[in-house]
Amino acid sequence: MKQISLLKLIGISFFLLIGTGLSQTNNPDYDQFWPAWRGPLMTGEAPTGNPPLEWSESQNVRWKLTIPGKGLSTPVIWGDQIFLTTAVATDKQPDPEKIDAHKDKRPLWLRMSGKAEVTEFFLQFMVLAISRKDGKIIWQKMVREEYPHESRHADGSWASNSCVTDGKHLFAFFGSFGLYCFDLKGNLIWEKDLGTMHTKAAFGEGSSPALYQDYLIVNWDHEEDSFIFALNKNTGDIFWQKARDENTSWSTPVVVEVNGKPQIVVSATNKSRAYDLKTGEVIWELGGLTGNVVPTPVHANGLVYLMSGFRGNALQVVNLNQAKGNIENSAAVVWTDDKNTPYVPSPLFYQDKIYYLKSNRASLTCADALTGEIHFTKEDLEDMQGVFASPVAAANRIYIAGKSGLVYILKAGPQLEILTQNKLEDSFDASPAIVGKELYLRGLKYLYCIAEN
């Protein structure tokens, strides 16, 4: 690990006093709900949350809803409504040649591994609004029926992009299958077709949109011409569009304020970059992440944390106040690490510590977010058969959900302390969401509301 120097520590400590306030929307209730896939702060924290410590299929499950189709998007929550996307197979089939073409386009290694999935049916791409009170569907909208243009990874879905809301609009993004803006009653306001993605090895799509005031940001990295878009959230009109020298990535952009000026930070393989929100001009760039970048950056106290973990490990911490131009080997990179970083799950920033999993395993590291000092590393959580979901935190606790249906609850802090572990009859790849005293877990079969009875 490259730890922080004393000179950098003094400089950052001064910058922390200045702060980098973030105002995603002008809605005062924003922090009370879960309006984006990494929560109101885009760090994984629910600042007003206090969900249960214990549950089972017979305890503290307020309700569970069978979800039609398959999707891995995280529940997004506002008021009494939970918003999900899903892709539902119909009984309509395309010409057999199209199915065979999908099978033939998959790399040989992927076909042999059994990790590629080809559908033989048209799909209906759907947006659901669900009541927090009783788990009943309030409204559902089918936005498109289409046969996918390529296959996907067996661990993915055709509805992996999470929604985002400002409390007035709901933005549902299906990548190649369109971007849709609804009001919260389910009325379509506008829709946008940004083109067709061709992802690496036909793994599928997954980056979610980011929202900042009137700007809706979409990262469009794939194997052909890649772009980043800034759209007017009210109309769908494009404010600006910038070409990106990138292949496929799945990372969601985040918007940060630096001295009152917002910039968009996007992690990627060739270079992570920050763009001026208003103009799209590149403010800074930094290479050094691995291939197949998935984790979304987190930011707090003037620092942004970039990670990746496919065929290698990379963690880079950038001082936003110093980042200008090409910042490789500059003082703007305050600490780094090359061990035990995540492939799919995004990191969690909580109480001035950064928590992250190794690859897609239940093996946890905790570091001091300012200095990079490792508090503990590679602590294995037994009986978890893999983790794709990102950890979340509330009430001095950390919640980690796994594919085996198991959720570990840890006490936040510099020592690993397991409080409880709870098992449900499902598999969790979507990241949890917390609102108040409720925890929402989206499994492959059900959506659960966990709350004390």
Give a yes or no: residue 279 inside a domain: no
Residue numbers of the domain that contains 96? 74-207
In this predicted structure, the answer to whether residue 8 has a pLDDT above a threshold of 60 is no
Nearest residue to 390 via CA among 272, 256, 295 = 295
**Contact 346/41 with Cβ under 8 angstroms?**
no
In this predicted structure, the answer to whether residue 326 has a pLDDT above a threshold of 90 is yes
- Give me the pLDDT at residue 223, please: 96
- Give me the pLDDT at residue 173, please: 98
Give a yes or no: residue 174 inside a domain: yes
**β-bridge partners, 305:** 298, 317
By CB atoms closer than 10 A (0-12, 13-18, 19+), residue 77 is buried
- Give me the pLDDT at residue 176, please: 97
Q: Tens of pLDDT along 395-414?
A: 999 999 999 999 999 999 99
The first and second tokens of residue 259, run together, are 């001295």
Task: Report d(CA 341, CA 357) in Å as an integer.
Answer: 6
Return the CATH number at 189.
2.40.10.480
Q: Tens of pLDDT along 48-93?
A: 999 999 999 999 999 999 999 999 999 999 999 999 999 999 999 9
Confidence label for 116 from pLDDT (cuts 50, 70 and 90): confident
Residue with tokens 């520590």: 9
The pTM of this model reads 0.94
Q: What are phi and psi of 445, to 5 degrees?
A: -110, -40
Strands 325-326 and 282-286: parallel
Confidence label for 24 from pLDDT (cuts 50, 70 and 90): low
Give a yes or no: residue 348 inside a domain: no
Give a yes or no: residue 26 inside a domain: no
- Give me the pLDDT at residue 3, please: 54
Q: Which residue type sits at 128?
A: L
Confidence label for 14 from pLDDT (cuts 50, 70 and 90): very low
More confident residue, 184 or 117: 184
Give the residue-averaged pLDDT of 249-271: 97
In this predicted structure, the answer to whether residue 1 has a pLDDT above a threshold of 90 is no
In this predicted structure, the answer to whether residue 18 has a pLDDT above a threshold of 50 is no
**Contact 125/158 with Cβ under 8 angstroms?**
yes
Give a yes or no: residue 376 inside a domain: no
The first and second tokens of residue 286, run together, are 């930094």
**Contact 274/323 with Cβ under 8 angstroms?**
yes
- Give me the pLDDT at residue 109, please: 67
User: Does residue 113 sit in helix, strand or coil?
Assistant: helix
Give the residue-averaged pLDDT of 265-283: 98
Q: What are phi and psi of 364, to 5 degrees?
A: -105, 140
Buried b (16+ CB within 10 A) or exposed e, 106-130: beeebeeeebbbbbeebbbbbbbbb
Give the residue-averaged pLDDT of 334-346: 98
Give a yes or no: residue 395 inside a domain: no
Give the residue-averaged pLDDT of 157-167: 97
Task: Report d(CA 403, CA 100) in Å as an integer.
Answer: 31
Q: Tens of pLDDT along 120-161?
A: 899 999 999 999 999 999 999 999 999 999 889 989 999 999
Q: How far is CA 174 from the centre of its chain?
A: 14
Give a yes or no: residue 409 inside a domain: no
CA 276, 282, 287, 292 dihedral sign is: positive
Structurally, the chain folds into a number of domains equal to 1
Give a yes or no: residue 194 inside a domain: yes
- Give me the pLDDT at residue 94, please: 85
